[in-house]
Amino acid sequence: MNMFAKNEAQSVEEYLLLVPDDRKKDIDFLHAFIQKAVPKLKPYFASNMIGYGSFYYLDSKKQKKDWPIISLANQKNYISIYVCAGVEDKTVAEKYKKELGKLTKGISCIRFKKIEEINLDTLKIVLKIAEKNPWVAGATIVD
C-alpha cells in the first residue's frame, strides 16, 4: 500500500490493519492509550479516522451533526489527535500546548511525527478533560 494513499477502511479494525508499517506501532499504541485513558468513550470509525465518544452540534443549517470528542488519524506527514474540548474559553489543546511537547498544534489538533515528541502524561490529562467537556458550545453527548 502506498503510505500516502488515503486509508480506505470502513471500520476501526480495518483502519488499524491499513496503517502503513512505519506508523503502525505508534497508531496501535495511541489507540490502546486513548481507550485506557477514557474507557467511557467508545471507539468507532468516523470520517477516515478513529473517533472516541461523540457529541452533536447544530451546523449552519441548524441540522444535528455527530462528531467525535477525540479522534486519531494517520495523516500524510504526521499523526493527528483531534480533541474537541475546551476549558476557560480555550480548547484543551491550546491550554496545554506548552506541556504537550515539541509538536505542532492547531486549535483542537495535536500533530506529531513520532510518539517521542508528545508528553504522554499531559496527553492523558487532555483526554480526560475532553471526556467531560465537549468543545462546541451547547454540544450534547451522544452515547
The CA distance from 26 to 15, in Å, is: 14
Can you list the positions of beta strands (E) in 6-142?
A: 43-46, 49-58, 64-74, 79-83, 86-87, 90-91, 104-105, 109-112, 140-142
Beta-bridge mates of residue 123: none
Fold of 12-142: Aspartate Aminotransferase, domain 1 (3.90.1150)
pLDDT, position 55? 84
Within 10 angstroms of residue 11's Cβ, the number of other Cβ atoms is: 11
87, 129 in Cβ contact below 8 A? yes
Q: What pTM does this model have?
A: 0.84
Q: What is the pLDDT along the chain (143 residues), one digit of tens a residue?
A: 334 345 678 899 999 999 999 999 999 999 999 999 999 999 999 888 999 998 877 777 888 888 899 999 999 899 999 998 877 777 888 888 889 987 776 778 899 998 999 999 999 999 999 998 766 544 444 54
The single residue listed with the C-alpha cell 455527530 is 66
